[in-house]
A and B are shown apart, each in its own frame.
Chain A
């Protein structure tokens, strides 16, 4: 019999859903395109030297005026190649979404571990804060933070973190409450291991499956939330043109039938969010111990 590692089992279980596999492959391509934007895009859309005003607002598939390249997705009001702008925009959107998620996970896990392990008054107080915050919609929390902090990359990330950390705190605490009664934790306590070691080396790994599932879903909503804020004009500054800003820029041209300036960045945003959700959905099924068929 062949030896099966947990990773192999995971891959095997994941592969059973074809749609999820397609989602994962597409997502990998999108991430690669975002990461490699400066190398795969045919122009740097923010280097004014590479733009030609003669090429402004060309429909998709038009040839560039220098005759050497084709604007497959058209150009915007400054003669920018939309495909290149989308790749650069994707890079910013994904970076902001991932950065916000990682920080929110770190804070949420810390609060969740503390709350679940300490119990009692600490737990009651922390969970009161978490519940109160979860009763407000994320966009309202983000708007409050933006109104307070103002615009900027760091500030938008802060707003996203503030809107999302509570989900991770809840999730982590839920797992800790279940796990801390288990024998291996009792054993670790009897061995008088330091608290930090029990929390980080024994409890945290068991929280990971739940965190990965929640995290995957929240990355998608972080990206969507940033796009919404940027679209409203209160998110990222124009020096960091994410997909939301690209969509906002094209909005005014949509009324005159120049749909591509808005629609293609929107399609890129949508595809990214959809792929993340597909992958997250399958992860939830695969990582859920209740559904495991070993």
Chain B
């Protein structure tokens, strides 16, 4: 176990190192942000001064070395555009993104598991077929298109919900939240549904196939023969056994949700870090782009790592460290 843990941590650090290398050299190899900061009348001396001020006159290896050194102490550079630290800039927007992603994931799980159970327990009913048909549609629709349709129907035509923005936030324990007020919830609902749809379809399909498989097992037959109510058989015995893959996927997909929030945040003008990324790419604000990518990769690698560990704890049959296929 310790050996597996160490090799897994080593692997995670390796991925981070490779990513930092690719991202840093890739992003610094293109474009010259100095052009954006000096006026068109600037002479050579002005340009040289601006370049030096941004630290871009140093050899690229030195810049990378400094970047890694600073990154390890939590400093990912300063935004060219905002003039503040890139990391604080992103962290400031992290709560909005996390809140959106958490609510979306909760929606996907709370709606997806019951629907998936239904479709798995009574696979031939028309409701099950409708659920499965819906999940295929949920898979094929691009996220941004669903977002547009939600806005068109609920904000423009019906005018029930706001079309964008975060609305008022309440600060709880230093974290601004939308979920605590009615107005905030109204702003949160559409983007959360938008972000949840894809994961919802995934969880429905996963739960259904898990439930179908479990329903044929001996333990379910025995539980029934014992005279347990169907509700209890499904709610306790079946559900418990299909939780392992679901927990894994929920964990893995949470990182994907953070990445996909780029699209949802842009459509709904949600002030999270995804929108910051798109703005920064367009403004050639390299430090913010690098910091964002490094942070998301870090979050991603961490989530995968934790999910792997959770998986092995939940399912004693999973043997770690042995021969992997």
Contacts and interface: CB of A to CB of B under 8 A. Distances in A.
Interface string A252-294: 0011010100110010011001100100000000000000000
B263 A266 contact: no
Nearest to A142: B259
Nearest to A248: B144
Given A137-B256, A139-B259, A234 B278 contact: yes
Interface in B107-149: 136, 139-145, 148-149
Interface stretch (B24-32, B37-45, B88-96): B24-32
- Chain A interface size range: 35 or more
Nearest to B23: A144
Given A273-B140, A273-B142, A144 B260 contact: no
Nearest to A263: B152
Interface in B298-320: 300, 304
A150 B30 contact: yes
A89 to B, nearest CB: 14
A266 B293 contact: no
A140 B259 contact: yes
Contacts of A269: 142, 145
Given A147-B27, A254-B151, A232 B266 contact: yes
Given A148-B27, A224-B142, A254-B148, A139 B263 contact: yes
Contacts of B263: 139, 228, 231-232
B144 A262 contact: no
Contacts of A147: 23, 26-27, 277, 281, 289, 293
B151 A140 contact: no
Contacts of B293: 143-144, 147
Contacts of A150: 30-31
Given A147-B27, A273-B140, A247 B255 contact: no
Interface in A81-96: none
Contacts of B27: 147-148
A139 B145 contact: no
B277 A262 contact: no
B144 A227 contact: yes
A139 B262 contact: yes
Given A247-B145, A259-B152, A139 B260 contact: yes
- Chain B interface size range: 35 or more
A136 B296 CA distance: 10
A3 B228 CA distance: 58
Contacts of B259: 136-137, 139-140, 143
Q: Which of A136, A227, A273: most chain B CB closer than 10 A?
A: A136
B163 interface: yes
Contacts of B9: none
B140 A220 contact: yes
B5 interface: no
A239 to B, nearest CB: 17
Contacts of A137: 255-256, 259-260
Contacts of A148: 22-23, 26-27, 29-30
B15 interface: yes
A105 B145 CA distance: 27
Contacts of B252: 135
B141 A270 contact: yes
Interface in A176-210: none
A5 interface: no
A255 B304 CA distance: 40
A220 B136 CA distance: 13
B36 interface: no
B144 A228 contact: yes
A224 B148 CA distance: 15
A236 to B, nearest CB: 14
A143 B140 contact: no
Contacts of A266: 145, 148-149
A14 interface: no
B145 A270 contact: yes
B282 interface: yes
Contacts of A220: 140
B54 interface: no
Nearest to A146: B281
Given A149-B30, A234-B282, 6 more contacts: A135-B300, A139-B260, A147-B281, A228-B144, A233-B282, A234-B281
27 contacts: A135-B252, A137-B259, A140-B259, A143-B262, A143-B281, A144-B293, A146-B281, A147-B23, A147-B27, A147-B293, A150-B31, A220-B140, A224-B142, A228-B144, A232-B262, A232-B266, A233-B278, A233-B282, A244-B144, A247-B144, A251-B267, A254-B156, A255-B156, A255-B163, A262-B152, A270-B140, A277-B139
